[in-house]
Structure 1
Amino acid sequence: MKIGILQLNPWINDIEGNALKIEQGAKEAFAKGAQIVITSELALLGYPPRDLLLRKQVLNRCVKSARRLAENLRLLGPVILGCPWVENLKVFNAALFLEDGQIKTWIGKTLLPNYDVFDEQRYFTAFTKDKVVENKWGKLGITICEDIWNDKEFWQRAFYPEDPVAGLANAQVNVLINLSASPFTVGKQEVRQKMLAYLSKKYSFPVVYVNQVGANDDLIFPGRSMVFNANGEMIYRASSFKEEIAVIDIYTKTDFPEKGKIPREEDIFRALVLGVSDYVRKCGFNKVVIGLSGGIDSSLTAVIAVEALGPKNVLGVLMPSCFTSKESNEDALQLAKTLGINTYVLPIEDIRQSFVNTLHPIFRGLPEDVTEENIQSRIRGNLLMAISNKLGALLLTTGNKSELAVGYCTIYGDMSGGLAVIADVPKTMVYKVCKWLNREVEIIPSRVLVKPPSAELRPNQKDEDNLPPYEILDKILEFIVEKNMEPEEIIKLGYEEAVVQKIYRMVRIAEFKRKQAPPGLKVTDRAFGTGWRMPIAAKI
């Protein structure tokens, strides 16, 4: 049985454009010998469509487009299409079975995730009927994404009362098919692969997993569609972070070459490149602007942008003040030269002094503090936004997850922008990714990787004046943000009580800043995006 896999990059709400891409992909797959073709989850609308699912016109357009697609492919073969479906005023996350020019039947998603970035119970009704499609190849078991993530033996617990895969095994299906839109997080691929291999071996049926690729808002989808034979052997894995159309005979023995494990640094970098490329393109931009400070965060952001968009579409702006070191300017210009991007140097000292003079009647007699530091950041933010407006270039912010977590950033200053590229990358991982980039040729000036990190907003400033070393900070933040641990639990692990309490408080009081930050690309298990729903006005 030869199955065509359409690992495509949909544009949310471009229903007609997505349909054309699916049609062209299906024709290519059938031409290669496919007997049936499968898309990813909600491929016709794009995932996640969020509140578009509340609009009747959108749902109607999807169904009309699906019917046209069935008609256009009627002479080629059946297609299992990811598409929302409405029945009895209820909306289902569905897989439509297109054959002979019509929608023959449909099967809905049973397990509706409602955690982290997922909010499917807001939109969909759980499907509780038979999930089997019978045709000349036997019984096809149809599942959608979360439906396969509930094997109590693999996870050593059950997340939902029902296990659709076990039900399909009892129905003696010949093959398990899964339409997915499973987002990227670093390290998740290994878990996903082990789980699929476990299911195919446990139930002795082939597993076909088709995943979405591309980025939509804060979520990045890696692709990496997979096929396992009935022995639990992987016989196909699609490319990472790019579209791919393949035809796989699911009953072949494994001849899939074992590939070495992808370094986490590379995985994060490639994911962020796709995230920037798709966000810029799908929001209607073709170029970006970045504030270059000579620091490691803006350096990494610039490299990602150039890889995603090409050097001619990236503009770097240096905005030195009297506190900016000569070395920082040199490093920023050297990076720009290496990357081949255009730069402007806009000194802000005169503007800064003008702010100080204007505010003097109100500030007279008060000591200088973070207020004056923030003025510099906000001047830079204003200049960058003006450039963004005038040139039609999306402003990329350069702050990392560690800074965003503790509020070590300036609202309306360095937080200004349209996309926070590395907002989910901890500072220690920023260094690791940069060292990986420099593994063969120096891209980021070596001095950037060794000098103490500093915002350079006052004389001789260092990040460690206000924060513990990032190796300690990032570990504590992991416990707080990703593991939901309380200070007392972290202290018991051997961390200094005063440090833990300080960091915990900083995380809580910075919530108002994060609510006003631009969207950030998600690469860890828990980011400060759609999956982070903390109150602002809450007692610490």
Structure 2
Amino acid sequence: MSTLRIAGATLNQTPLAWENNLINIRAAVDDAISSDVDILCLPELCITGYGCEDMFLSDWIYTKAMECLLEATSYCKNITVAIGLPVKHRGLFYNTTCLIQDEQILGFYIKQNMANDGVHYEPRWFTPWRPGIIDEITIEGKSFRFGDLTFELSGIKIGFEICEDAWREERPACRLFEQKVNLILNPSASHFAFEKTRLREKLVIDSSKNFHCTYVYANLLGNEAGRMIYDGEILIARHGKLIKRNEWLSYKSMQLQFADVDFNKEEETYPKPDEWPRDKNTEFVKASSLALFDYLRKSHSKGFVLSLSGGADSSSIAVLVSEMVRRGVEELGAEKFIKKTGISTLQIANGKDQQAIIKHLTSQILTCAYQGTVNSSEATFQSAKELAESIGATFHSWLIDEEVNSYTQKIEKALKRPLTWEADDIALQNIQARSRSPIIWMLANIESALLLTTSNRSEADVGYATMDGDTSGSIAPIAAVDKHFIITWLRWAERNLGYEALNYVNNLQPSAELRPLSQEQTDEADLMPYPVIVEIEKLAIRDRKSPTEVFHALNAVKLESSKLLKVHIAKFFRLWSRNQWKRERTAPAFHLDDFNVDPRTWCRFPILSSGFSAELKELEGLG
């Protein structure tokens, strides 16, 4: 055995974007070769992209993926590279990693454990490989080993775990340890979730210690297919110590990280790896701003349009877009940032400092509109105006009372009676929200831009949103986080990110402003305190507890009085079951937390049900 330079690379891939994906793969291999890397690990399914969904059920995908693999082998001169792709073999579909050495295929390792929880549905597409089984596959007349493989190169033994393989108690690494494997490569497509990076780091470090090896982890990067965000982590650990880590959630299409490992030595001294802030507030802005950037460019849109109400939800989204521009320009430079967006009309303000350049780019990318009514306050208008101007967004304002009155008068004429707040409260509120939708959509269409939806997860829980009103949009950036977090994050952003204009919204009580101002409407008065919603949601939705179980758990910690707690739990479950149809129709959202309420990914619930009638009766009867 000898000293080898071992590397992982992260790639920002797109499902079925064959040319783009090969360009990124080649860039990683070329960078590795120029850096004298001996062995390079690329992420899981990096040829096709991980998020192809049911396209993985199409035979032609596997033919095309193999063609791309054969092309990629030509990149791998004087280097060993692991490349992930799906392979069809004996009529079944497999998630594989191909190991290539000096332009020659050595064999295919097959994933043994399919991710089938939370946002994952891998068993729908792929068949798990049985441990210890080795077969052969024929490609263009040549036979290659296919299955549970290890390899020996330069006197070291190499084994694989593909993503989910490593998260199981009975995992391939247990058998690799028995086979005295020195190097384990883990090509992954591990989605972002708050605080997951620390769990992943612990997994890699513990794996290198428990299995006495060098462990290389290489994850996908960016918003690959619309919902999932990949943080692009590259982690290299040896015998229980982390020796290399890259900066995660990068705007670059590719990153490489390598370490020199002397496999003849039991212990080596390495500099302490770089560290970056990984608190929840920082994670939120880094992941969401990168996700917006990738969604913008991969959808070939020319910018964003936002109905900026001056409230917490829309203000948070405006800041995320501003951070998208700032972080992208700071990492890539203004010219590369513009080129990567694909928006040919973007222009750099000549002779300006970087902050002025960022604001000028923001003005071209983000258009905001305050759509007021007689029920809107001067405070929310000022909040919206000051924030938009401070970040450089293009800002419009108009009133929609004429449209609201037109709709109201037509219904009054049809019903032959006036509408009143006493008899028609919900309808009079909703028509205001819905009247805002057509004109903001019109603006988005004119600008060929994405309309951003301002719904948050707490509203989705209880249906506190107007369908075809404030739910209108192409993408819902904050739909995976609760309102309480949004409120606290805005205060953090004001202090830590320098958004002084957030002082306006941070001093407002959250309100839909759909009732007359004299009624002093607030969100929490309409629903319940947001911290209470958060605690009920964790138990009821994340942990799948019954109403009675939720009550006992929260009553034990004295969240609020027992009487009020029962009222709020009953209200939560009634509104949850009543509003599933709204969750079915919400815009795509980024997956940010360890759970979400998106029925197309994490949480499926029947549109029609009993509404927990028996369970709520049991709750009511508790002493």
Which residue is 1:46 aligned to?
A: 49
Which residue is 1:131 aligned to?
A: 149
* Partner Cα separation in structure 1 for residue 499 and residue 99 of structure 2: 52
CA contact (8 A) 1:266 1:433 kept: no
1:484-505 Cα shifts (integer Å, max 9, x gaps): 1211111112151121111111
Which residue is 1:523 aligned to?
A: 592
1:506 paired with 2:506, answer no
Amino acid at match of 1:418: S
* Partner Cα separation in structure 2 for residue 318 and residue 510 of structure 1: 28
| Larger displacement relative to structure 2 (256-265 or 340-349) | 256-265
Which residue is 1:170 aligned to?
A: 178
* Partner Cα separation in structure 2 for residue 253 and residue 126 of structure 1: 39
Which residue is 1:378 aligned to?
A: 434
Larger radius of gyration: 2
Let me know the Cα RMSD of the aligned residues: 1.5
Would the alpha carbon gap of residues 444 and 93 (structure 1) be closer, same or farther in structure 2, given more than 3 Å must change? farther
Deviation at 1:203, TM superposition (A): 1.6
Amino acid at match of 2:531: E
CA contact (8 A) 2:10 2:221 kept: yes
Deviation at 1:134, TM superposition (A): 2.1
Among candidates 303, 307, 323, match of residue 307 of structure 1: 323
Among candidates 434, 440, 444, match of residue 388 of structure 1: 444
1:10 paired with 2:13, answer yes
1:144 paired with 2:166, answer no
Among candidates 458, 474, 478, match of residue 515 of structure 2: 458
* Partner Cα separation in structure 1 for residue 117 and residue 149 of structure 2: 24
* Partner Cα separation in structure 1 for residue 483 and residue 412 of structure 2: 36
| % identity of equivalent residues | 28
Deviation at 1:286, TM superposition (A): 2.7
* Partner Cα separation in structure 2 for residue 528 and residue 284 of structure 1: 28
1:35-89 Cα shifts (integer Å, max 9, x gaps): 011100111111121112112222211100100110232x231210011111111
Amino acid at match of 1:54: L
Deviation at 1:370, TM superposition (A): 0.6
Which residue is 1:357 aligned to?
A: 409
Which residue is 1:343 aligned to?
A: 395
Which residue is 1:318 aligned to?
A: 370
* Partner Cα separation in structure 2 for residue 320 and residue 457 of structure 1: 10
* Partner Cα separation in structure 2 for residue 97 and residue 413 of structure 1: 51
* Partner Cα separation in structure 2 for residue 298 and residue 149 of structure 1: 37
Write the mapping of 1:385-424 to structure 2, written as runs, cut at 5 A.
385-424=441-480
Write the mapping of 1:171-186 to structure 2, written as runs, cut at 5 A.
171-186=179-194
* Partner Cα separation in structure 2 for residue 247 and residue 396 of structure 1: 39
Deviation at 1:137, TM superposition (A): 3.9
Secondary structure class of the residue paired with 1:276? helix
Deviating above 6 A after TM superposition, structure 1's stretches of 4 or more consecutive aligned residues are none
Write the mapping of 1:252-331 to structure 2, written as runs, cut at 5 A.
252-257=268-273, 259=275, 261-309=277-325, 310-311=361-362, 312-331=364-383
Secondary structure class of the residue paired with 1:430? helix
1:81 paired with 2:68, answer no
Among candidates 27, 30, 52, match of residue 27 of structure 1: 30
1:179-227 Cα shifts (integer Å, max 9, x gaps): 0010111011111111221121112111111111111311111112101
Secondary structure class of the residue paired with 1:207? strand
CA contact (8 A) 1:290 1:317 kept: yes
Secondary structure class of the residue paired with 2:158? strand
| Larger displacement relative to structure 2 (287-296 or 376-385) | 376-385
Secondary structure class of the residue paired with 2:406? helix
Would the alpha carbon gap of residues 27 and 260 (structure 1) be closer, same or farther in structure 2, given more than 3 Å must change? closer
* Partner Cα separation in structure 1 for residue 274 and residue 187 of structure 2: 24
Among candidates 202, 209, 226, match of residue 217 of structure 1: 226
| Larger displacement relative to structure 2 (102-111 or 260-269) | 260-269
Amino acid at match of 1:285: S
* Partner Cα separation in structure 2 for residue 137 and residue 522 of structure 1: 43
* Partner Cα separation in structure 1 for residue 575 and residue 442 of structure 2: 31
Amino acid at match of 2:122: E
Which residue is 1:154 aligned to?
A: none
Which residue is 1:489 aligned to?
A: 549
Which residue is 2:58 aligned to?
A: 55
Among candidates 245, 248, 257, match of residue 259 of structure 2: 248
Q: TM-score, normalised by structure 2?
A: 0.82
* Partner Cα separation in structure 1 for residue 273 and residue 173 of structure 2: 28
* Partner Cα separation in structure 2 for residue 254 and residue 91 of structure 1: 41
* Partner Cα separation in structure 1 for residue 248 and residue 103 of structure 2: 33
CA contact (8 A) 1:36 1:79 kept: yes
* Partner Cα separation in structure 2 for residue 137 and residue 35 of structure 1: 13
1:268-289 Cα shifts (integer Å, max 9, x gaps): 1111101111112111113010
Deviation at 1:432, TM superposition (A): 2.1
CA contact (8 A) 1:229 1:254 kept: no
1:144-166 Cα shifts (integer Å, max 9, x gaps): 00000013xxxxxxxxxx42111
Secondary structure class of the residue paired with 2:399? coil
CA contact (8 A) 1:4 1:26 kept: no
* Partner Cα separation in structure 1 for residue 155 and residue 501 of structure 2: 55
* Partner Cα separation in structure 1 for residue 481 and residue 56 of structure 2: 31
* Partner Cα separation in structure 1 for residue 490 and residue 261 of structure 2: 40
| Larger displacement relative to structure 2 (113-122 or 303-312) | 303-312
CA contact (8 A) 1:288 1:396 kept: yes
| Larger displacement relative to structure 2 (528-537 or 515-524) | 528-537
Which residue is 1:369 aligned to?
A: 425
Deviation at 1:97, TM superposition (A): 1.1
Among candidates 495, 502, 505, match of residue 448 of structure 1: 505
| Larger displacement relative to structure 2 (245-254 or 33-42) | 245-254
Which residue is 2:356 aligned to?
A: none
In structure 2, runs of 5+ residues without a counterpart are 134-147, 263-267, 326-360, 560-564, 612-623
How many residues matched?
528
Deviation at 1:524, TM superposition (A): 0.7
1:471 paired with 2:531, answer yes
Amino acid at match of 2:287: A
Which residue is 1:227 aligned to?
A: 236
Which residue is 1:66 aligned to?
A: 69
Deviation at 1:406, TM superposition (A): 0.8
| Larger displacement relative to structure 2 (413-422 or 455-464) | 455-464
Secondary structure class of the residue paired with 1:438? helix
* Partner Cα separation in structure 1 for residue 276 and residue 100 of structure 2: 38
1:412-471 Cα shifts (integer Å, max 9, x gaps): 111011000100111111022212211143344313112210000012211122211111
Which residue is 2:603 aligned to?
A: 532
1:326-348 Cα shifts (integer Å, max 9, x gaps): 11111100001101011111210
Amino acid at match of 1:111: N
Would the alpha carbon gap of residues 404 and 281 (structure 1) be closer, same or farther in structure 2, given more than 3 Å must change? same
| Larger displacement relative to structure 2 (412-421 or 462-471) | 462-471
* Partner Cα separation in structure 2 for residue 270 and residue 360 of structure 1: 49
* Partner Cα separation in structure 2 for residue 407 and residue 534 of structure 1: 14
CA contact (8 A) 1:197 1:233 kept: yes
